[in-house]
A and B are shown apart, each in its own frame.
Chain A
Amino acid sequence: MAVCVAVIGKDNSPLYIGGIGNDTSTDNELSRQWLVHTALDALEERLATTNSNNATASANAARTDLRDLYLGLLYSTDTHKIYGYVTNTKIKLVLVTSSTSPSGSNIRDAEVRTALRRLHALYADAICNPFHLPGDQIISQKFDRQVKSLMVNNV
């Protein structure tokens, strides 16, 4: 089960951070924000190496894994596993699972990939909302509900 899902903008600003659990608690929200914010370090590092690999080994361009939007497990802490996904439009998607809960610790990579791809689809729909300005925070309740359900059911 994913405990947190985040959409980060091109400029690294948070567009949406959704969490399951004791939602209202500020401490919970704070730790979630720290977790997602620091995950950007790993995301940037991963993108940098992907790009440099692409540049140096252009002959090796067939290495599709480097061109996969899904970046896989970024890192894990004692309590959480953090997965990353970067769209072609430089929108970063982050998914966090709990290592302590059984459903979170036994999660398969393929499941996370599917979940992040679905999140990408939800995001692609969300920016077509005429009331949403791309680059602003996503405040659509429909999006929020869809993401929450994705977190609960599908991962």
Chain B
Amino acid sequence: MADDIVFELLHSEIINYALEPKSTNGSKEVDLSVVEYIGFAAGYKIMERLTREWPRFKDELDTMKFICTDFWTCIYKKQIDNLRTNHQGVYVLQDNAFRFLTNFSNGHQYLEYAPRYVAYTCGLIRGGLANLCINSIVTAEVQSMPSCKFHIHVQRT
């Protein structure tokens, strides 16, 4: 669908934009924090809307299930394929065909650039959870594209 591709194109251009060498900072290191922040803000704000029709979450796991189903469907038009947890605040969400990766690789080509295309989504998850009062660290792991695993470590205080 055309509207979906616009989202994907915007996403990839934002990444290109964020990676442009800044004149003030000549370092070659890839700084994706801005992309992650964009994701965070979007996740935070959209969560209010997405949980409107959802009954009060029973617990953390219930919240994660929501992330895997409705939240993911709303953004990526598909559900997370596999959710695992150690019941101590670590959740692993596996998407076998992650939308931002499906378009350009099916295997190991461009694998080294994969981190660029998961930063936004990590922020999205983290921001969404932050608005649900769950502070977390979200990392992603890509071994073979287009499959992607998101690790959520809930920070307890």
Contact = CB atoms under 8 A, between A and B. Distances in A.
Within 8 Å by CB, do A and B touch in the complex? yes
A127 B55 contact: no
B48 interface: yes
Interface in B81-137: 131-133
Q: How large is the interface on A (under 10, 10 to 19, 20 to 34, 35 or more residues)?
A: 20 to 34
Contacts of A64: 55
A56 B98 CA distance: 39
A10 B59 CA distance: 17
A67 B56 contact: yes
Contacts, number: 50
Contact of A88 (B44, B46, B132): B132
A90 B45 CA distance: 14
A59 interface: no
Contacts of A139: none
B56 A66 contact: yes
A61 interface: yes
B52 A121 contact: yes
Interface string A105-117: 0000000000001
Interface of B: 44-49, 51-52, 54-59, 131-133
